[in-house]
Structure formats: C-alpha cells, structure tokens
Copies of this chain bind each other. A is one copy, B any other.
Amino acid sequence: MAEPNVTRIVAGWATSLDLADIPAEVRREGVRTFVNWLGCAIGGADHETVDCALAGVRPFAGPPQATVLGRGERLDVLHTALLNGISSHVLDYDDTHLKTIIHPAGPVASALLAVAELRPVTGRDLLAAQIVGVEIACRIGNSVYPDHYDRGWHITGTAGIFGAAAAVGRLLGLDEQRMCWALGIAATQASGLREMFGTMCKSFHPGRAAQNGALAAFLAEAGFDSSERAIEAPRGFANVLSTKQDYAEITEGLGERWEAALNSYKPFACGIVIHPTIDGCQQLREELRDAVREITEVAIRAHPLVLELTGKTGLEGKFSVYHAAAAALLRGDGSHSAFTDEAVNDPALVELRRKVKVTTDPKVHEASVDLTVTLRDGRRVSRSIERAIGSLERPLSDQQLEAKFRGQAVSRLSEGECERLIELAWRLPELERAAEVARAAVPSGAREAAR
C-alpha cells in the first residue's frame, strides 16, 4: 500500500496554520458560519430533543464549565458541546457544505465555544480553529463522498468528528504527534446512521461529533495514544467506512483552495430541494400583494427529485412542497414558524396547498423551478428560479443572515439581548475572550436562575 501519510499531513497543517495565512474572504465566511450557527443553536434550544437529551445526561454532568446556548444551564465542556450541537441542527436550519451535505458548524463550533469557556481563547483563535475544523471535516467528507453517504453513514457525524477534534486540538496547542492521536481517537469513534433520520438521533449525530471530537483532543493532550494513520490505513476510517478513498481531496491544495469558503446557509427551515419554490413564491407574493387571496392554481414544474423527497401531503410540512409553496405565497414565511403544527393546520394554508399542482421534468435542474400562478380573473403570473437564495450563486447577504438570526433568537432572547449578541458575534475576530459570546447567548432570566 502506498497511501500518502494523510493523517500526518492533516495534523501538521492543522497545528501550524496561522490565521494570517487564511485569506480575508475565507475568514469572513468563517465569521458568517459562526453567526449562522449561533442563531441556529439558540433557535433550537427549546426543542423537545434538547429537553430529552438534557434530562438524560444531567445526572452525569460534570462541573458547570460552559453554557447551553439560549437556555443557560451550565454543564461540563463535553456535555455542553453535545447539547449545543444538537440544538444547532435540530430544526434542519443550519449550514451546508453542498458538495457533501455536511453541516460542519454543528460539530466544530459547538465544541470550540464550549472549550473557550474553560480555557482562555481569543475570538481570533476560535475563528482560526473553526475554519481549520470545517476545512478538515469537508475535505475528509469529499474524499469518501458519495459512496460513504450512499452506504448509509450520516456524514455530518462521521466527518464532523474529525473537524471537532482538529479544531479543539488547535485550541489546546497539541503538537503534530498528539494531533495525529486526536484524529485517530476521532476516527475510531466515527459513527451515525442515516436510518436515524426522522428521529431525535439525527441531531444527536452532530452533537456527539462535537462532544467526542473534543474528548479525542483532551485525551490526546493527556497522552492517550492512537494510530498515526487512522484515516488512510487499510483498516482505517476511509477503507472501513467507504468504498471510495480519494486522498487527494484531503491533501491537495491545503491552504490554497478552501472548502470552508463554500459553506452555505439555509434561508428556509426545510429540505434544500424546496428552496427554489419558496424563493419564487415569496417573489410572486411581493408582486401580487393582496391578489394572493385570488389564487385558483399554483403550477410548479420541477425536477422529479423534488416530488420524491418532498411530495408529502400530510402533516409533515417540512417535507411538503405543497405546504411550503402555500406558506410562502400567503404568509411570505419560510422560517421555522411556517412548518409548525399551527401553520400546517391553518385552514387558509390547507385550502391553498390543495390548489398546488406539481409536474416533474428531469430536464429541469434540481436547483431550479418554474412557477405559474393563476388568479380568479384568469390572469397568470410566472416566475423562474435558476438558483434559489442561499445557494452558492446567490448567498444570503449579511443582512439576511441577521434577519434569520433574529427570527430564531426571538423565542429565547429579548430584542436588546438579541441585538447585542448579533453585534458580539460579528465582532468575533476582535474579542479578547470568545467565551463572552456564550455568556451573552442566555436570556437574562435564565442567567439569574443559573447563579
């Protein structure tokens, strides 16, 4: 076998890179990734999945070292990483590396911010570690995608743990040897089955990747050793968990081309294949204004995959292109509130979604859609979406990211707390203590209760 020393190359790069070596636009995307992750973690904080996880682990939690975002409970670093990783993913609203469908911030940032509450970490160092962690998770993902994902692995968990281990390892100042061990301890914990989609275990995966990746780094720091070829060895991660192993995806152009710069942020709280439809329906609503009440038919022409993944007509609004179109037209909403039980049962939305007809055509691109609305007076208005808002071609602006953040944080924080937190998050690279963000991400009532 003549694989390159992939694990050692990754470890060497992760330990030696300086934030100054990261191009400004990649650093900027890193801050946007952080802002988006923080809003998602707060938005998901009161989800039942987080309640159950907290109830399950609380009897075993260690010292109050770090903060459960949007709530205020203080747990040890590892359990905090778990809970924030769960809440950031639980609404299916987090970031996406589109080439691999990895949601990288959940594993990486959840681990990092928790560690930053235990040891002094500047915002600059946290940002560099996050970019390194996201880069490594996505590159390892690229090396095994799609075979690894097709086999049934939830790649956000399996690749994410490497990102969390490398990122935390950087904060701990591991040398190259110990960074290799951290990657090895991560590799031998890599797990998460796609069978779990639709259950609480789906968001458990990024949570555990954050927790277990951090554990890997702390164990390596304590001298716990591991294989130094855990990624590429014949019985290592890539060979055991995948039929495809393209190591060049991991090692080539490290520090030159940046996967971390290709992160994207969902503008809508649902499966990405519905996004063009919501985008187009929102645009039609702008144009039609009050006339949206006069709609007699909504005709959608889309790739067959759209119906395959989101052709549900029942209560699973997040998986219904019919419901999503109706909510975007009638409410202009594509956020979490568009998919609640209240929304799905709203008689006006029920009525409108019955008027939605979908025709499929494999010649339409998966990321495109053609929409035509017919009004009572016979008028027809059409809209074609080549690429939806939130795609790499049409990224969310900083203002749109902020609006998304506010829409999520509003359920947990006051307006003043929310604005202060947004401002802090954007200033991450300048913060003397990154932990300040975690402490500001707690409703004042909960902060007092935790004291």
Contact = CB atoms under 8 A, between A and B. Distances in A.
Per assembly, the copies of the chain total 2
A65, A184, A199 — most chain B CB neighbours (10 Å)? A199
Given A152-B240, A235-B152, A240-B153, A230 B62 contact: no
Q: Which 7 A-B pairs have the closest CB atoms?
A: A152-B235, A56-B222, A152-B240, A56-B219, A55-B222, A195-B235, A60-B76
A112 interface: no
B215 A57 contact: yes
Contact of A226 (B78, B200, B235): B200
Interface stretch (A201-209, A290-298, A338-346, A428-436): A201-209
A43 to B, nearest CB: 20
Interface stretch (A126-134, A186-194, A360-368, A410-418): A186-194
Contact of A52 (B187, B201, B222, B229): B222
Given A52-B223, A56-B221, A152-B240, 11 more contacts: A52-B219, A55-B222, A59-B118, A61-B62, A187-B195, A188-B193, A195-B230, A195-B235, A195-B236, A196-B227, A200-B224
A187 to B, nearest CB: 6
A283 interface: no
Interface string A268-288: 000000000000000000000
Contact of A78 (B60, B190, B193): B60
A264 interface: no
A77 interface: yes
A180 to B, nearest CB: 11
9 contacts: A49-B224, A56-B215, A59-B77, A59-B118, A60-B62, A60-B79, A61-B76, A188-B196, A193-B235
A233 interface: yes
A234 interface: yes
A177 interface: no
A107 to B, nearest CB: 15
Interface of A: 49, 52-53, 55-57, 59-63, 65, 76-79, 118, 151-154, 184-185, 187-196, 199-201, 204-205, 208, 215, 218-219, 221-227, 229-230, 233-237, 239-240
Given A53-B224, A219-B56, A191 B194 contact: no
Nearest to A217: B56
Contact of A192 (B59, B188, B195): B188
A235 to B, nearest CB: 4
B60 A77 contact: yes
Contact of A184 (B61, B153, B199): B199
A193 B230 contact: yes
Given A152-B234, A184-B196, A201-B184, A224 B56 contact: yes
A216 to B, nearest CB: 9
Given A53-B219, A56-B222, A199-B227, A189 B188 contact: no
Nearest to A231: B195
A79 B223 CA distance: 18
A308 B193 CA distance: 35
A224 B152 contact: no
A201 B227 contact: yes
Contacts of A221: 56
A188 B200 contact: no
A52 B221 CA distance: 9
A78 B188 CA distance: 19
Contact of A199 (B77, B189, B225): B225
